[in-house]
Chain A
Amino acid sequence: MIARNRSHLASIMDGHMNRVRNSGPGTPDGRNAAPIKTYLIEGCGPLPDPDDVVGPFGTLRLITQDPVLSDRFPVRMHPSSDPCLATIRGLRANHAPISFYVDYTDPRFWLLYGFAPSRIADRFISTLVATHRDVGRTTFCSEFLSAATDIGSAVALSLDHEGVMDEEEKDVARVPESVKARLWGTQAERLTNLMRQLGSLSDGIALSQVRLRHSPGNHDSERFSLNDVRFDGRMITRGTSFSAHRSLAEALRTRYARQVADIESGYQVRLEDSGGVLLGKSLALHLARPVRNLQRLCERIFSSASPFLLWGLPVQRGPGSVCVKAVDLDLGQRMDLEFTPDFIRLFVPKETSGSAVLRFYTNVQHRLDPRVRMLDQDENEILQP
């Protein structure tokens, strides 16, 4: 369905939330009415050439006309009477089309709402971001998810740690380390903090998802949304009110945009316009567990594959140091990284988005060291929980 304006979008989504609530075996909607998926997408990062800026609508139109995307997932774009809302419809052979509603009130960070099944929605979004340079996935680090609990009330938390990327390949007999847990209840956060301090989980666990009940203005209201906010920038929502979900999604977007802006203003390395003064600092990721095999770790990170999506040549400077001039393949931006067993230095050029830094940090939390900390030059935490 194509959204004519925001209130029409709300009515489409409210109707769908109602169908999800009433769906199940034996109901007219069947058992598989999929909940709402919302993706926070970086829609238009800082560009090297000011002439390239065509605005979110223009960028969206370019994306939908891209032949590579059309090959994999033909799409049509439909503007609405609201200047910051459009519908994009993905056409699939022998299947009903899928719709995403793009809210680009913030010209850089877009919210894409849809209700296709997860597998199809994820595939569509992945194809979309892989096609065009001005759109990229966002990620929510543990500190961000933890802080999100003050917007809604947390009713469940998911934790995970998926293997360690610096293990020797020859050690095939060893089962990779991993932890996954889901805690329910309003006291889940207290239990999480306790688990993080346990000696038995010395390698740590990262917060991968938080379920937030949100009911703006009135916590007892029957108009609420129940949102699973995941570390990969995706939200899955059930409940009774789309506007409750939208207000949460917009609050998260604002926070994320601020986090990105803080990184860019403080750490992008550039020369002051008047000349002579170098601005920006290097970022440091301090690891709680020393890296066992730097070369192996770097080969995996810079293989250009998901989730890091980084291309680069690791250059060994010595037994305890590897440097890489990397390319973020998601947004087509550069980043210089220097690895030692205890810390990773990041240098962010002036045209590189803070999102690329946050994605790298979040992936390090989930794939290497959940207790990693991002510190400034005076060893203060950059991302406050």
Chain B
Amino acid sequence: MKYCSHKLSVQNLLIGMCRGSPGVPRTIRRMGYRDRWIAGNLLGRTGTAADPVLVLASAQSRHSFFVEACEEPEMDPGRLDRYASVTAVDLRERTPLSQDQTELYGVAVFGLEEHRDTLRSSIRDSKLKPTLLLRTGDGLVIDANPFPKVALANLFRPVLSLDWESAPLGWIAYDHESNLAEVAQAVIPQVIAYAAGRVNRVKIGRVCEDHLLWDLSTRAARRQMRAKVNAALSSAARHEFSEFFTLRSGALTFSGTAQAAIRAPGSPTLKRMARHHAALLERLAG
């Protein structure tokens, strides 16, 4: 999907399904599942194993599952290991999950259909026995270790039909693992909004702090996110947006051209800015 990773597609889809977004099945919502985020440091310790984790939890079904999206052919065992030592007591005491929601809990790996064989073998040895769901052209299918809740498992049999092209993407626009095109797609409008709000100098840190999951991210994840935002904006400042802003000492400064254009809705310069945004995304997506 253009400028959107598998991980973010899956996360946004599941959040949309829990929140009744139009265009996606509502069955999961009707079974009482709601999206929750758990700060990475409550489960892991460092690096990517410390990302904020999306969990779908239902008091009605007395069940929760952690969401792991895997775009690679194999699942990194480190990502699964972090759930190994988690207990129901930890979840109740240290996360927003309730006792009802944690009576049964597990991990669901969302992979790609073309990696079926390698994903199967990479989860086979895991003590956690994660549920394996595969993304196909038509939706999601359950492939191994079905959910213990039969009604939930049956949703994905033979396939949970989805139109991936119109599934929601607006909840989480990018994260610290995103590619630069995905980051630029989100942060360029964000900085333009600052300029439209007559803020003429914006620190990269402030752009990052606007991210929905910033407060839940560990230091390592924040560092990665900041580096990505910096790289995307710095590349834009050197090329397509060179007439609109500069980036020096961790802060972005808008040019007089940009400031004047933003005060003149409908101006050709604003239209040019949109075209340059398209060119930037094309270039970064390679």
Among A269, A274, A302, A327, the residue within 8 A (CB) of B196 is A327
A133 is an interface residue with CB less than 8 A from chain B: yes
CA distance A79 to B1 in the complex (A): 56
CA distance A316 to B1 in the complex (A): 10
Contact residues in B for A325 (Cβ distance below 8 Å): 173, 185-186, 189-190
Binds A, one of B31-39, B72-80, B141-149: B31-39
Q: Are B265 and A334 neighbours in the complex by a CB distance under 8 Å? A: no
CA distance A320 to B16 in the complex (A): 18
On chain A, which size bracket covers the interface?
35 or more
B249 is an interface residue with CB less than 8 A from chain A: no
Q: Are B96 and A277 neighbours in the complex by a CB distance under 8 Å? A: yes
Q: Are A329 and B262 neighbours in the complex by a CB distance under 8 Å? A: yes
Among B2, B186, B216, B265, the residue within 8 A (CB) of A271 is B216
CA distance A180 to B108 in the complex (A): 56
Query: Which residues 25-57 in B have Cβ within 8 Å of A in the complex?
Result: 29, 35-39
Q: How far is the CB of A73 from chain B (nearest CB, A)?
A: 14
Q: Are A304 and B216 neighbours in the complex by a CB distance under 8 Å? A: no
CA distance A130 to B37 in the complex (A): 39
CA distance A180 to B237 in the complex (A): 48
CA distance A282 to B21 in the complex (A): 6
Contact residues in B for A316 (Cβ distance below 8 Å): 2
1/0 contact trace for B96-119 toward A, CB 8 Å?
100000000000000000000000
Q: How far is the CB of A72 from chain B (nearest CB, A)?
A: 10
CA distance A271 to B195 in the complex (A): 25
B158 is an interface residue with CB less than 8 A from chain A: no
Among B2, B23, B165, B265, the residue within 8 A (CB) of A305 is B265
A377 is an interface residue with CB less than 8 A from chain B: yes
Query: Which residues 46-67 in A have Cβ within 8 Å of B in the complex?
Result: 48
Least CB separation from A273: chain B residue: B215
Q: Are A333 and B197 neighbours in the complex by a CB distance under 8 Å? A: yes
A284 is an interface residue with CB less than 8 A from chain B: yes
Q: How far is the CB of A315 from chain B (nearest CB, A)?
A: 6
Contact residues in A for B273 (Cβ distance below 8 Å): 311
CA distance A372 to B96 in the complex (A): 37
Q: How far is the CB of A270 from chain B (nearest CB, A)?
A: 7
Q: Are A276 and B216 neighbours in the complex by a CB distance under 8 Å? A: yes
Q: Are B185 and A133 neighbours in the complex by a CB distance under 8 Å? A: no
Contact residues in A for B39 (Cβ distance below 8 Å): 275-276
Among A302, A311, A317, A351, the residue within 8 A (CB) of B1 is A317
Q: How far is the CB of A174 from chain B (nearest CB, A)?
A: 24
Q: How far is the CB of B270 from chain A (nearest CB, A)?
A: 4
B266 is an interface residue with CB less than 8 A from chain A: yes
Contact residues in B for A347 (Cβ distance below 8 Å): 168, 170-171
CA distance A135 to B185 in the complex (A): 27
Q: Are B21 and A345 neighbours in the complex by a CB distance under 8 Å? A: yes
Q: How far is the CB of A300 from chain B (nearest CB, A)?
A: 11
Contact residues in A for B190 (Cβ distance below 8 Å): 325, 334
CA distance A319 to B166 in the complex (A): 10
1/0 contact trace for B210-222 toward A, CB 8 Å?
1011011000000
11 example contacts (A-B, Cβ-Cβ < 8 A) are as follows: A130-B263, A278-B37, A284-B22, A304-B266, A304-B274, A306-B265, A313-B189, A317-B165, A318-B165, A336-B169, A346-B170
Binding site for B on A (CB under 8 A): 48, 68, 130-133, 269-271, 274-278, 281-282, 284, 286, 302-306, 309, 311-313, 315-321, 323, 325-329, 331-334, 336-338, 340, 343, 345-347, 349, 351, 375-378
Given contacts A311-B189, A313-B189, 12 further A-B contacts (CB under 8 A): A48-B197, A275-B96, A276-B39, A278-B171, A282-B168, A304-B266, A306-B265, A313-B277, A315-B3, A315-B185, A318-B165, A333-B197
Binding site for A on B (CB under 8 A): 1-3, 15-16, 19-23, 29, 35-39, 95-96, 163, 165-166, 168-171, 173, 185-186, 189-190, 192-199, 210, 212-213, 215-216, 262-263, 265-267, 270-271, 273-274, 277-278, 281
